[in-house]
């Protein structure tokens, strides 16, 4: 089962918005939000809440790709998030997430008994390539037990 399939199966909101997981590696996650009228805002583009969910889902996908081998001893949790809406988004939009710290550094903190925090940067683009939003989600790996 791919990470996208796993997220769609375990995160109902990803299914609700029909998110498409296009690429998921430890280095990059790319997730698309199709153009769907039921998730439009008052100007006919994707609603801010739908774009937030898109970005958060992309960040979760890269976290699972980078730290999936740690799930037996820690659970990934979003700690906080910030989003900036830069330009009007119309039509389908795509979020690209990248880790803000090396995964090995985060795992080393976990190995040392700490609860590491790390940022994931997300860029949201419309079909013509224009960046419509920038988002940061700070995640933690909470040790089990």
pLDDT value for 112: 96
Residue 136 to residue 122: CA distance in whole angstroms:
6
Confidence band (pLDDT; 50, 70, 90) for 28? Answer: very high
Superfamily of chain region 3-143: Hotdog Thioesterase (3.10.129.10)
pLDDT in tens, 58-77: 999 999 999 999 999 999 99
Q: What local confidence, expressed as pLDDT, does residue 8 receive?
A: 80
Domain boundaries, the chain: 3-143
Please tell me the distance from the alpha carbon of residue 99 to that of residue 6, in angstroms, as a whole number.
Answer: 20
State pTM to two decimals. Answer: 0.94
Q: Rounded to whole angstroms, how far apart are CA atoms 137 and 119?
A: 6
pLDDT tens string 69-108: 999 999 999 999 999 999 999 999 999 999 999 999 999 9
Residue 109's region, left for phi above 0, alpha for psi from -120 to 50, else beta, is: alpha
């Amino acid at each position: 089962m791919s990470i996208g399939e796993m997220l769609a199966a375990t995160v109902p909101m990803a299914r609700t918005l029909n998110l498409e997981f296009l690429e998921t590696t430890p280095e990059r996650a790319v997730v698309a939000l199709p153009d769907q009228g039921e998730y439009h805002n008052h100007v006919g583009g994707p609603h801010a809440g739908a774009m937030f969910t898109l970005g958060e889902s992309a960040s979760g996908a890269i976290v699972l790709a980078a730290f999936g081998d740690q799930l037996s001893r820690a659970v990934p949790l979003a700690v906080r998030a910030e989003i900036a809406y830069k330009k009007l988004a119309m039509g389908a939009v795509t979020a690209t997430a990248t880790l803000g710290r090396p995964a090995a550094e985060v795992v080393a903190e976990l190995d040392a008994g700490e609860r590491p925090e790390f940022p994931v940067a997300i860029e949201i683009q419309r079909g013509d390539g224009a960046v419509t939003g920038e988002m940061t989600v700070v995640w933690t790996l909470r040790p089990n037990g």
